[in-house]
Amino acid sequence: MLETEINPNDELWLSKVEAPQIISDPNLFGWDDEADLVVAGLGGAGIAAANEALDQQLSVIGIDKTNGGGSTAKSGGVFYAGGGTPIQHAAGVEDTPENMFNYLIQETGDIIKKSTLKKFCETSAENTQWLMDNGVQFESSYYKIKTSYPGAGYYLYHSDNSLVPSYMQNAIPAPRGHRGYEEGPFRPIGVGGTIFYPLKKSAIKKGLKIFPQTEARSLVITAEGVVAGIKVLMLPSGNLAEKHKKLTDRGEMFQMLLPPSYPGSKFLQLIGNFFIKKAQKIEQHHRQVKYIRAKKGVCLSTGGFIYNRQMVKEYAPKYFNGMPLGTSNDQGCGIRLGQSVGGKSDHMNRVTAWRFLNPPLAFANGIVVNKDGRRFCNEMVYGATLGDAMCEHNEGKAYLIIDAKLFEEAKIQSNEALPFQRDMAKMLMYFNAKKRKNLIDISKIYGLPPDNLISEVDEYNESAKAGSSCKFGKGANDVKELNGPFYIMDISIDSKLAPLTTLTLGGLMVNEETGEVLNQNKEEIKGLYAAGRTAVGICSNIYVSGLSIADCIFSGRRIGQNLK
């Protein structure tokens, strides 16, 4: 199936989004409300677009299937920024837009124009200040050691591959992970609220009108193809809306308690679905059809499609067995809305898969091999880089091998890690790890070719003995000699006890100067814009922590600045 051919009548449409409604004259149509900009999806990108448009003295209406926040609010709250941000300066860190560009070009490749990446880097410090001006708080406590997420009390860290030797050849390392600051007990989930909720509060103060519990169902266009507005299904405010919100929140809470592959998770999923279905019944019987006019444009910012499992199976089958990361409303409706009026999608097969090994550092001191018993990556790289190598080139199969000494070190290190890091590591060590005296016996557990595995360990040990980096560029200090007995852990995408989190990166193609959605001929669709994970953007090639939220702010503000 070609992406260019899909429409709402296609059996593979896999969405509730309807065909556009065509009207003759927007001035004569019976609109229920209107604004210069109508934002569909109030997550990080949507709230950035709203704030910027309001700064330009434009009126804005925001609609959201829930109450706003999206995956941004649910995330770990990391904003990727550099080039000399106020926080970097406060931490005594030197960085320039050119240095930031030299690093990021290694991650983005040709997914976007070089001029777009340069602008992203050149405006990064200003975007950070813009967030702060709108109430977002950051903090300059600098965590200097390579990690997937900083320890409690640290807010600035290397959230990428900048400390990996091969990347250091092209750019001077600088910490660019800016974690949102919050007081009180530390928790890794929901810290994104430190970024979203101040922006929401700021936008409301500027005049944003929000319609929560409202679902975009189709676009309204003129006969000439200009997007004039949007048809929505709106749940009226009141007791029913409050009941709907409580049921939805309770259902999602149960569904998020355990990864879907963990023992006991199916029971929790059933409980969660019970509440979700009750909320859906309220939607079915009480939502009202409303039409909202967009005098200057509609912004599509409803996130990706990772929770639309049929779409994932269709577009990105390599990642179907991964664990969805985001919210249950990441159903691809924004992408489908754009496609319904001829919008062109791209890179729909791109998904980021996060296989984090560090902490505990001892895991990354070991080796990861594929089903052929061969190493294929530097184990110290950022988790999404390892996950990409696993899924794109090794059929999603990977096995972590360490020795008894590293195993004991991992126990100690995991106890010092954050709770979510500690729990994942212990799940691997106590329920996934299998111990054998030698590599021949280790290879038999998952049917790995023993000669290949022995050869890889011997070569790795030679590097350790020589005090040199390995063939994949792992630094000499991180290469540790492996001696029996050995442990092996299945960290494949389909491993039941090592869930691999996944997030879609592809979406609608846009004019990279304005954010306007492009049609099949790569011409702008008048009145239609897209941002965040609904659109192809900065992180659509591969992901590093904070890059998605940074792209949401960058692409959202771009729309607010370029409404015609």
pLDDT, tens digit, 9 for 90 and up, residues 396-440: 999 999 999 999 999 999 998 888 888 889 999 999 999 999 999
pLDDT classification of 330: cutoffs 50, 70, 90: very high
The predicted structure's pLDDT at residue 46: 98
- What mean pLDDT is reported for the chain? 95
Q: Are residues 312 and 274 in the same domain?
A: no
Report the DSSP beta bridge partners of residue 78.
Answer: 179
Phi/psi for 83 (5° steps) reads: 80, 10
**300 with 218, same domain?**
yes
User: Residue for token digits 């070609």?
Assistant: 2
> Do 442 and 380 have their domain in common?
yes
- What pLDDT does 1 receive? 32
Residues 197 and 342 in one domain: yes
Average the pLDDT over 226-235 and give the result. Answer: 98
Residues 197 and 56 placed together within one structural domain of the fold: yes
Structure tokens at 557: 């503000």
Question: What average pLDDT does range 501-524 have in this prediction?
Answer: 97
pLDDT reported for residue 262? 79
Write out pLDDT tens, residues 90-140: 999 999 999 999 999 999 999 999 999 999 999 999 999 999 999 999 999
pTM, full prediction? 0.95
* Cα 547 to Cα 160: distance, rounded to the nearest angstrom: 9
Is the pLDDT at 387 greater than 90? The verdict is yes
Cα distance between residue 73 and residue 197, in whole Å: 8
**Co-location of 417 and 456 in the same domain:** yes
Q: Residues 407, 450: one domain?
A: yes
Per-residue pLDDT band for 148 (boundaries 50, 70, 90) equals: confident
Task: Say what the pLDDT of residue 186 is.
Answer: 58
383 belongs to a structural domain: yes
pLDDT at 550: 98
Show the domain range for 194.
Answer: 3-73+190-235+288-352+502-561
Strands 142-143 and 156-157: parallel
50-54, 84-88, 145-149, 239-243: which has the minimum mean pLDDT? 145-149
pLDDT at residue 265, rounded to an integer: 86
Which residue, 443, 461, 490, sits at the end of a domain? 490
495 falls within a domain: no
Q: CA 452, CA 490: separation in Å to the nearest integer?
A: 17
Q: Are residues 216 and 329 in the same domain?
A: yes
Give the number of domains in the chain.
4
Which residue bears the tokens 């000499």?
A: 476
Of 304, 327, 312, the C-alpha closest to 535 is: 304
Q: DSSP E strands: which ranges in 71-213?
A: 78-80, 142-143, 156-157, 177-179, 209-211
Name the β-bridge partners of 293: 34, 229
Note the pLDDT of residue 257.
Answer: 83
Amino acid, res. 276: I
Domain boundary, last residue among 145, 160, 179 = 179
Residues 256 and 308 reside in one and the same domain: no
Q: How far apart are CA 170 and CA 159, in angstroms?
A: 17
The CATH number of whichever domain residue 301 belongs to comes to 3.50.50.60
Residue 2 clears pLDDT 50, i.e. is over it: no
- Quickly list H helices, 346-469: 361-365, 383-393, 404-415, 419-427, 439-445, 450-466
Sequence-ordered alpha helix ranges (H) in 27-69? 44-55
Q: What's the token pair of residue 507?
A: 């979406």
Cα–Cα dist 122/490, whole Å = 42
Sole residue written with tokens 């996934």: 432
Helix, strand, coil: what percent of the chain each, to 5?
40, 20, 45
Q: In the 8-state DSSP scheme, what is residue 535?
A: B
The better pLDDT of the pair 362, 147 is held by: 362
Q: For residue 172, what is the DSSP state?
A: -
Rg (CA), the chain: 24
